[in-house]
Chain A
């Protein structure tokens, strides 16, 4: 399977038809059924679109993503298609509209090939919390691909598609990217429209690309970014031409290494992999500074209070009244709610709704939500202050390599700790990229995270490209 840039080249120079590429891609996806990556494949639609785009290419009117085939996490709306969010609650739900990112991609003639599996409502770090069963890691089929965008990561890592869209609330793009040995970008908050992304925790959620190269990430990000009047939290800043700008190498920079991230819980092989990249950067003349972010250790606590609070409200609409899973044996209104939600939601989702409801309840609000808001602000300030001294913060993406299926499902707290390196970027709205950083001795992928200044997604991509080059 070619990367997007190579594939675009082939299709747009008409070395092969998009129709045949789509047909091959669909065959490829079908051959990988055992990984349980795809929840829906848009065979007829994709082939029909491919024929149209082939004609456009011939006429020279095709968009810049003509030839790009993309898989989309199943919490992003594609008009007229199912939107399950990995949940029984929405098993049969069909959305009547497309997300802004989908429109932008389709305007450039990208083809959405289908929907990828995910942790239910994007809640999870292993993709084991999907109503449609777990996804297997293509690099190590007995292990998890990470989550919640596990399907999107595996689709790219398994070479089924060159690129996919995921969503990242506390690390849900970067962690599976690291577990699957690919690149995954969480853009600055507001950079990419959330319109059409099923909300988990609105003030954290961002859609982002997952691909095998930083070049491909840049190209997709460039297309999906930008102010959207339909999303009041999207930002009005101009979008650089990432794919072209990224060719200008990032030079003369200072990189901060937060000592709080390199503690004894970090897997030693991951630590070695990251440190060897830092050494390489240093030997190329990059200034490396050890920094301290004392409040960052509260990140997970803050995140699981605020994120679940927002989630408890965002998921209230799945009540069985208008659409989605509705219990049949409910006699009264109250029972329609409780039974439909009891049947529709999985354990992890229920756990988070209960936690979120609790922290917002009268008498507890100040103690939990109020305090967490305050600490979130402190962490964001701490990070932003740090970026007055350093240009980037480099860290691991995960404390451990991908774990085995079933290994952590009984330990939700332990599972939550998987996100400790990725959460701060969501708390502060910063851009963060996960790039491959070699493998462990057991040939398991390791990821390296680059966090950058708010709204300077470009520099993060540039540094990512530099580190990517060290891998070769």
Chain B
């Protein structure tokens, strides 16, 4: 029985104002080759100058992932030829990376397994190639160097990931944390988060690792899962047929729903790493590392625990609410105006998330303020409106942007909860249903449902159901 052994490398673009080694703007989507200067073009005579803010964001990342951060690390040149690499080498880190030995807990639950992170290092991004294949506007390959020198952190896991699902969860969690600490946009579409996976198979219970392949071009978390599933099947089949897995670099091809071979590892390049002589050693003082660590925002795990203890909500709700910092903030703001946190959390996780999905907007763009949502939940709790009406009211809030109170008073959707009003309605219903009343008297107590339904209909569903039920029962039991 073979089981997969998976490790993931993630490249994350850091959200700095300027590039890592020059003053050019770090921005996505500009016209090609407009965010460039002699330094990032690698023109003769130019030298890199390290962007300290990029270092700060990298330290933040490493801290959030529980890494040990080195006081001293060294930049190195990774030498290879490619048209999108103007200097003929990438400035990266090699044998002395900035951070080591971190970890990440899978999914939002306390019990889930930890994935160890072996290293995090800082490096520069390369440019982008545009090829005529799949691009009808151009007849030859072109190079856009805007991306050259955008700061990256590379986050490398130990081979701790045991399944495509775990890979998916690891990446989702990683993205969640990176978004929490605000170091990156983590947009796979814009390429600010990119990942490769290494995969091999081993016999269950054995320490012997199999030959591994590398999967590239994993442009979404879904593709990561699909590609890994495909590759696990492929490797398993090979092995159970007594064949060997060849170490090679593969790419996921979504249109083929399969993998294509990029290059074999035997002919893989020798990057001839050596210390970058144009930069001095990167020195981080303990006090700076401490400061950056202390400035970290509350991370998802901590926030989830706090939500459970401070708001008394179930773990599942807490985990879901803390999935993004924006949603968590929305909840907390609403909770400060609300007395029933459980109901509030349910409402946000069902009704609000539904409507966000329907309208394809984010919680940040959602037009109902947390305070108004709290007002609605309060109204439900007070018994002034029914759950059904609450949903209608909510739709109306989304449409108009008005508060629940305002819509309620304008529309008369409020529950009839005055016993005198209700008594009158009930008397009318009972008066017009002598047969049902008789049936009740003869012991068919279930018939009360029919009578309540009739009263509800009379009130267009606005009768306070609890009160209606109570008075109806009293009336029936007392009338002789």
Q: Which residues of A contact B (CB under 8 A)?
A: 75-77, 83, 85, 90, 93, 95-97, 99, 194-199, 201-203, 229-233, 309-310, 312-313, 315-317, 319, 321-323, 333, 337, 357, 360-362, 365, 369
Q: In the complex where A232-B280, A233-B280, A333-B83 touch, is A313 in contact with B274 (Cβ < 8 A)?
A: yes
Closest A-chain residue to B42, C-beta based?
A317
In the assembled complex, the Cα of A434 lies from the Cα of B122 at a distance in Å of 42
In the complex, which of the residues A90, A99, A316 has the most CB atoms of chain B within 10 Å of its own CB atom? A316
Q: Which residues of B contact A361 (CB under 8 A)?
A: 270, 272
Write the nearest CB–CB distance from A434 to chain B, whole angstroms. Answer: 25
Write the nearest CB–CB distance from A335 to chain B, whole angstroms. Answer: 12
Q: Which residues of B contact A (CB under 8 A)?
A: 38, 41-50, 77, 79, 81, 83, 86-89, 143, 270, 272-274, 277-280
Closest A-chain residue to B22, C-beta based?
A230
In the assembled complex, the Cα of A202 lies from the Cα of B75 at a distance in Å of 14
Q: Which residues of B contact A231 (CB under 8 A)?
A: 47, 49
Q: In the complex where A310-B277, A316-B87, A360-B274 touch, is A83 in contact with B44 (Cβ < 8 A)?
A: yes
Q: Is the interface of A mostly helix, strand, loop or mixed?
A: loop
A313 near B79 (CB under 8 angstroms)? yes
24 contacts between A and B (CB under 8 A): A76-B45, A83-B44, A95-B43, A95-B44, A95-B45, A96-B43, A99-B45, A194-B45, A194-B47, A195-B46, A196-B46, A198-B45, A202-B277, A203-B277, A230-B49, A232-B280, A233-B277, A233-B279, A233-B280, A310-B277, A316-B89, A317-B44, A321-B83, A365-B274
In the assembled complex, the Cα of A360 lies from the Cα of B76 at a distance in Å of 12
A316 near B81 (CB under 8 angstroms)? yes
B45 near A322 (CB under 8 angstroms)? no
Given A199-B45, A202-B278, 4 more A-B residue pairs with CB atoms under 8 Å apart are A203-B277, A230-B49, A319-B88, A322-B143
B47 near A232 (CB under 8 angstroms)? yes
Closest B-chain residue to A361, C-beta based?
B270
B42 near A197 (CB under 8 angstroms)? no
Write the nearest CB–CB distance from A327 to chain B, whole angstroms. Answer: 14
Write the nearest CB–CB distance from A143 to chain B, whole angstroms. Answer: 30
B49 near A229 (CB under 8 angstroms)? yes
B86 near A198 (CB under 8 angstroms)? no
Closest A-chain residue to B78, C-beta based?
A313
In the assembled complex, the Cα of A333 lies from the Cα of B129 at a distance in Å of 13
B41 near A322 (CB under 8 angstroms)? yes
Q: Which residues of B contact A77 (CB under 8 A)?
A: 44-45
Q: Which of B38, B49, B89 contacts A313 (CB 8 A)?
A: B89
In the assembled complex, the Cα of A332 lies from the Cα of B68 at a distance in Å of 45
In the assembled complex, the Cα of A196 lies from the Cα of B143 at a distance in Å of 25
Closest B-chain residue to A83, C-beta based?
B44
In the assembled complex, the Cα of A313 lies from the Cα of B42 at a distance in Å of 12
A90 near B272 (CB under 8 angstroms)? no
Write the nearest CB–CB distance from B254 to chain A, whole angstroms. Answer: 25
In the complex, which of the residues B50, B81, B89, B272 has the most CB atoms of chain A within 10 Å of its own CB atom? B272
Q: In the complex where A203-B277, A232-B280, A322-B86 touch, is A316 in contact with B79 (Cβ < 8 A)?
A: yes
